[in-house]
Structure formats: structure tokens, C-alpha cells
Amino acid sequence: MSGADDILLKVDNVSLSFGGVRAITDVSFDIRKGEIRAIIGPNGAGKTSMLNVINGFYHPQQGRISFHGQTRARMKPYEAASQGIARTFQNVALFKGMSTLDNILAGRALKMKSSFFWQMFRHGPALREEIEHRKFCEEIIDFLEIEHIRKAPVGTLPYGLQKRVELGRALAMEPTLLLLDEPMAGMNLEEKQDMSRFIIDVNQHFGTTIALIEHDIGVVMDLSDRIVVLEYGHKIADGNPDEVKSDQKVIDAYLGVAH
Amino acid sequence: MFYREVGQFKTSYAADQAIFPIRQDRIGLALILAVAFIGIPLVGGEFMIASVMIPFLVLALAAIGLNILIGYTGLISLGTGAFMGVGAYACYKLSTLFPQVNIIVWIIASGLVSCAVGVLFGLPSLRIKGFYLAIATLAAQFFLQWCFVRVGWLYNNNPSGAIEVPLHTLFGIPITGATAKPLTRYYVVLTIVVVMTWFASNLVHGRIGRNWMAVRDMDIAAQLMGIRLLPAKLLAFAVSSFYAGVAGALMVFLWLGAAEPEAFNINESFVLLFMVIIGGLGSLIGAFFGAALIHILPIIVRTAPDALGLSIGSATAEHLTYIITGGLILFFLIVEPHGLARLWQIAKQKLRVWPFPY
């Protein structure tokens, strides 16, 4: 199933350092179209930095990233967004003063084109666009089962729901690559089950490729097709869940053994 | 009781995306407009129109502009007074250079001049935020005020240093200058304020408003949605200064009739900032509440003793006004730190569920 042309994103020998601190050292891996790719590793291993490099927040000192076959050295976050990379954050980064619906509509920012003039009158193209995108967002709201909180200010929502709204906002961008930074951190079992279900659904129904950072190893092993393991900024393993699970280096660095 | 939306079912997203989805709100808005356009001119005396309503509307317009910047986009500005001044001086300059052109055209044009100056001083906003940005806009305040005093060309080298408004007519009726009736001026100001409030409301409820609020609430996530920070922030500066500029032009041409550079000093900027904060950040109706509290409340307090038949000295009355107004501002902020607009929202929510607590 692996050919050169079904690689969506390729990270080549990327190194990133902040002053003297090396966050990522010479890491390479790829993400294939349509797969769920997990990035795991102990705290401080450089997982989130890796995501930040992929969507353009950090500019690596060395290495290249190619997305959709296009190689780039430096990229701004909004350029990554317009190429179809969406992202959720480890600590929820919702627009707190806005309602759930407005948050998800904000995710449509790139798809909405009507001019300032029509926006001013809220008429013609601006109004049509508003209704059309509302319809699209309602589908996401339906899909994530958050109909009851659509008008609620997101600041008042419980944590689990906030995470779900954040996923909805990322989905509103209709991404080809969705980066999820610890989507299940701090959730209870039911919430984790719900979230896993949504992730699988997104992957299978919309065909979205997903890169996922998660500490719950059970979830990672169940969800992901392939796993990258980082430690102190180095890649120590890469492969399918079974290979990674039995890799001695991974067991030493991260998984540990049952006593 | 009467404010309850039960039974108002929406069958389309168009109806649900309306700015006033609740019928009672639409009725309320129509009532307010009726009072403003018909009621106040019928019952209000010259004092009511010229010294209460016109200043209230002008200040509310400037507060809307500032609210777009602070409340919606999260950029603090201490230069609103100066941007109003840019509008006023631009309007004066344009209307004395080309007196034959309709004054309404020049009022709008002076908004655009102010808009350009605002964008220029908004450029640092990409790099600096919060209090630091406030200081950068403070530089705009002092620099522009210096220009109003020192650049003689701006006030046609008038020896008094002030700008005086000549006569201009609209459809043959004088609307500026000494012969313009307060009522005509009131209608012109009211129309401009209503139209511009409507534009502002459309903007903040659409894509542009959402982008602004996204930048305010979490600029990192906003970038990831594909929102570019600099254009979004500059647009907020542009729109905000446009509103301030038009308000400044209205202030000199339709309210005061003449102005000195002192009218646009840092005090004016602070007063507008207070209006926005007390009225409610991120709320258009809050701008009106804030303007009413800061401008109309002292007038009421000042005239209350006379109305009640108490005779106190004018100096005492003035002191009392300051004490009572200051006290009330503190009271409102303690009751609801998020401003009068939030208080209004809570009241509406209570009405919706009345007589039940929730």
C-alpha cells in the first residue's frame, strides 16, 4: 500500500533549536494519505515542537518539509492553513468570548470571500455566504453531537466539550491534514471513547489524514496505523503499533514494563 | 413575561442568523428609532436637543469606533481624541478649500483621512500588544495634537488658533454654522449615527467581526484558521479611526460650531475609553450606554436640585455632580465589571425566564 505518491507530508532531517536548546535533532518521517499517524514520547521529547514546525509556527534551522509534493523551507501559519493543515491545541485554544457556532464559523474564515462592501450591508453575497457556511457548520455540529451548546459561549463549557468544539473548528476548515495535540488529555473514559469515535469517523468518512499526539498508549495503539516515537528530540522508532510496542528502545524510554 | 421567545420557531438558517432573531428585540429597536426620530423632536426643548442628544450621539459614535478596536479586536488605543481631531481638521480644511461641495461628502471624506492616519499609527500593533500598544497610540495622541497647534495650514492660520465652522446647507436648509437650527443638526447627526451603527453591527456580526474577535481571543489559533494578523488588525484600526474621524467632524461642525486643539486632548481619549469600558467591551449597545452614563448622567444630576425645588449654590451643585457621577460609575462597575451591556443582557435573560429563577 505504500507508494511514493501516496505520501502526503514528508519531514526530512528537521532540526530545531532555541538558542542552545535542541528541541528536535535530525528527525525524518512521513505521513501517508488517509492514515492516522501517532507521535508519542516522554514529556519534552519535541512532539508539540514537531507539530509547530509542520504548521509553520517554528522555522527549523535545518531540514525540509514537503506537503502535497511541494517542498518549503519557511512558511507562515496562515499559509499552512490555506494549504489545508488544521490543528487543535494541547491546552484548549478556543475563542473564549464567542459562541460555539461562531467559533466553528470562524474556522470557515478562509472559505468566506465576500467583500467588505457587502459585509457592511450584510446583504447579497455576504448574507448568502453566511447562510451557506452556517449550513456547513451545522453538519459539523450534528456530527460532533454538540447541537445543544451551539449558542453557548465556549468559555462556560466543560473541558470535554471545549475539546470537541475545538475539533469542530478544525474540521470547519475541511483540512487534508489534521494535527491533534493531545485530544484526550484530561478526559474521563466516556469522553475518551467519544473522542476516539470522532477521530475514527473523521478519518474514515471525510478521508482526512490525521497526525496525533497522545499519552494514552491504549488509545494510540488502537487508533493509529503507524507510530513515530521521539525522545529528547531524536526519533527512536517508527513503525506500526506492534513493532513499536515490542521495540526495546521504546520500552526503555517511554513505555516501561509491567511489574 | 412580555420578553419571551417561546413559540418563535425558526425554519431557516437565514432567520436564525439574523442580527435580531427575537421578535421583541426588533419591536424594541423600532420603538427606540421612533422615539429618536419623532418623540424627542416633539417633546424635547432646544436644550434637550442641542446639549443632550447631539453630544450623546456624537460621543456614542466615537465610542463605537473605539469599541471596534478595543472591545472587538483587543487593541488598546489612547489616541481616539486625536483621531477625532484629524476628522475635524480634515473636514474643516476640505470644506474651506472646496466650499461648494456638499458638507456631508466632506464629513465622510474626513473619516477616510482619519482612517489613513489610524492605519499608519496602527502599524506597530503587529509587534506590540496591551499596555505597550496603548503607549504607542499615546504617541499618536501627542504628535497629532502638536500638529493641530503648530501647523497653521490646518486652521488656515486663524490668529485664535481655533477652527470656526462656516455656513453649509443641505437641500437649501442650513445644517452647520450659527444659523443652523438644533433640530436640523439633530436629524443630520441622528441619521449618520443610525446608518453607521447599522454598518458596524453588520460588520461585527459577519466574517470580519468574527476574525476580529478571533484575533482578540486567541491570536495564535486565529492564524491557524488562516486569519492574517496584520490585515485584520489594520482593518480594525481603519474602521475604528473612520468612526472617530466622522465623530470628530460631527462634533465640530454640528455640535460645537468651533473648536480649539484642546478639544481633542488626552482627556477626550480617556473619556471615550471610560465610555467603552463602563458601557461594555465588545458591545455596540454598550457604546450608547457608556455615552449616556458619562454625558447625560451629569446633566441630570446637575439639573435635579432645581427640578426638585432645592436651591443650592452652583459651585456646590458642580461638586455634587462629580461626587455622584463618580460614585455611580464605581457602583455600576462593582455590580457588573463587564459593563452596562452585560447588565442589560442579564436583565433580558431574567425577563426571559421570569417568574422562574432559571
Nearest to B216 among A97, A105, A129 (CB): A97
Task: Quick: pLDDT tens for B7-43.
Answer: 778 888 888 888 888 888 888 899 999 999 999 898 8
Contacts of A105 in chain B (CB under 8 A): 210
Mean pLDDT of chain B: 89
Would the CB atoms of A98 and B206 count as touching at under 8 Å?
A: no
Q: State phi, psi for A238 to the nearest 5 degrees.
A: -155, 125
Place of cell 459614535: B61
Cβ atoms of residues B64 and B284 within 8 Å: yes
Contacts of B206 in chain A (CB under 8 A): 119, 122, 126, 130
Would the CB atoms of A86 and B224 count as touching at under 8 Å?
A: yes
| Residue A20 neighbours by CB under 8 Å, 6+ apart | none
Q: Is the pLDDT of residue B208 over 70?
A: yes
CA distance to A68, A98, A254, B281, per residue, from A213 (Å) = 22, 27, 14, 37
CA distance to A57, A242, B73, B321, per residue, from B301 (Å) = 55, 79, 34, 6
Domain ranges of chain B: 48-265
Residue B179, pLDDT score: 77
Q: Is the pLDDT of residue A163 over 70?
A: yes
- Looking at residue A99, what DSSP letter applies? B
Task: Quick: pLDDT tens for A73-120.
Answer: 678 888 899 999 999 998 889 999 899 999 999 999 899 888 899 988
Cell readout for B203 is 460588520
Task: Quick: pLDDT tens for B185-200.
Answer: 999 999 999 999 999 9
Cβ atoms of residues A181 and A150 within 8 Å: no
Would the CB atoms of A78 and B214 count as touching at under 8 Å?
A: no
Nearest to B217 among A97, A114, A121 (CB): A97
Would the CB atoms of B225 and A93 count as touching at under 8 Å?
A: no
Residue A1, pLDDT score: 44
Residue B1, pLDDT score: 59
Q: Is the pLDDT of residue B177 over 80?
A: no
Nearest by Cα to A168 from A197, A143, A193, A189: A143
Task: Quick: pLDDT tens for A223-241.
Answer: 999 999 999 999 999 999 9
Dist. CA B269–CA B264, nearest whole Å: 8
CA distance to B26, B36, B142, B274, per residue, from B29 (Å) = 5, 11, 39, 25
Residue A5, pLDDT score: 67
Place of cell 423632536: B41
- Cite the beta strand spans of B66-210 per DSSP E: 163-164, 168-170, 173-176
CA–CA min distance A72, chain B (Å): 17
> Sign of the C-alpha dihedral, residues B262, B265, B267, B273?
positive
Query: Which of A78, A83, A89, A174 has the highest number of chain B CBs within 10 A, making it the mutation to test binding with B?
Result: A78
Cell readout for B356 is 422562574
Q: What is the DSSP string of A16-43?
A: EEETTEEEEEEEEEEEETT-EEEEE-ST
For A231, the 3-state DSSP assignment is strand
Q: Kindly tell me the burial class for residue A60, based on how many C-beta atoms sit within 10 Å of its own C-beta (0-12, 13-18, 19 or more).
A: buried
Q: Is the pLDDT of residue B154 over 50?
A: yes
The mean pLDDT of A130-134, rounded to a whole number, is 93
Q: How many CB atoms lie within 10 A of CB A216?
A: 17
Would the CB atoms of B208 and A116 count as touching at under 8 Å?
A: yes
**Which residue in chain A is spatially nearest to B200 when comparing CA positions?**
A120
Residue B92, pLDDT score: 93
More confident residue, A220 or B17: A220
Cell readout for B344 is 442589560
Contacts of A77 in chain B (CB under 8 A): 220, 223-224
Query: Torsion angle of alpha carbons B263, B268, B271, B275, nearest 10°?
Result: 100
Helix or strand holding residue A213 (H, E): strand A209-213
| Residue B39 neighbours by CB under 8 Å, 6+ apart | none
Task: Quick: pLDDT tens for B239-255.
Answer: 999 999 999 999 999 99
Residue A154, pLDDT score: 93
Residue B47, pLDDT score: 87
CA–CA min distance A54, chain B (Å): 12
- Angle between the B297-307 and B314-335 helix axes, to the nearest 10 degrees? 130
Query: ipTM score here?
Result: 0.90
CA–CA min distance A176, chain B (Å): 14
Helix or strand holding residue A71 (H, E): strand A70-72
Task: Quick: pLDDT tens for B298-321.
Answer: 888 888 777 777 777 778 878 888
Is the omega angle on the peptide bond into residue B355 within 30 degrees of 0, that is, cis? yes
- Output A72-80 pairs: Cβ under 8 A, ≥24 positions apart: A76/B223, A77/B220, A77/B223, A77/B224, A78/B223, A78/B224, A78/B226, A78/B227, A78/B228, A80/A54, A80/A55, A80/A56, A80/B224
**Which residue in chain A is spatially nearest to B206 when comparing CA positions?**
A119
Interface contact A138, partner B, CB < 8 A:
yes
Cβ atoms of residues B298 and B59 within 8 Å: no
Residue A2, pLDDT score: 47
For B129, the 3-state DSSP assignment is coil
Residue A4, pLDDT score: 56
Rounded to a whole number of angstroms, the CA Rg of chain B reads: 21
Place of cell 462634533: B251
Query: Which of B68, B224, B227, B338 has the highest number of chain A CBs within 10 A, making it the mutation to test binding with A?
Result: B224
Would the CB atoms of A109 and B214 count as touching at under 8 Å?
A: yes
Q: State phi, psi for B34 to the nearest 5 degrees.
A: -65, -45
Contacts of B21 in chain A (CB under 8 A): none
Mean pLDDT of chain A: 90
**Which residue in chain B is spatially nearest to A132 when comparing CA positions?**
B13
Residue B349, pLDDT score: 84
Residue B248, pLDDT score: 95
Would the CB atoms of A97 and B214 count as touching at under 8 Å?
A: no
Task: Quick: pLDDT tens for B39-97.
Answer: 989 888 888 898 899 999 999 999 999 999 999 999 999 999 999 999 999 999 999 89
Percent of chain A with pLDDT over 70: 97
> Sign of the C-alpha dihedral, residues A91, A97, A99, A101?
negative
Dist. CA B242–CA B236, nearest whole Å: 10
Nearest to B225 among A126, A130, A173 (CB): A173
Cβ atoms of residues A221 and A241 within 8 Å: yes
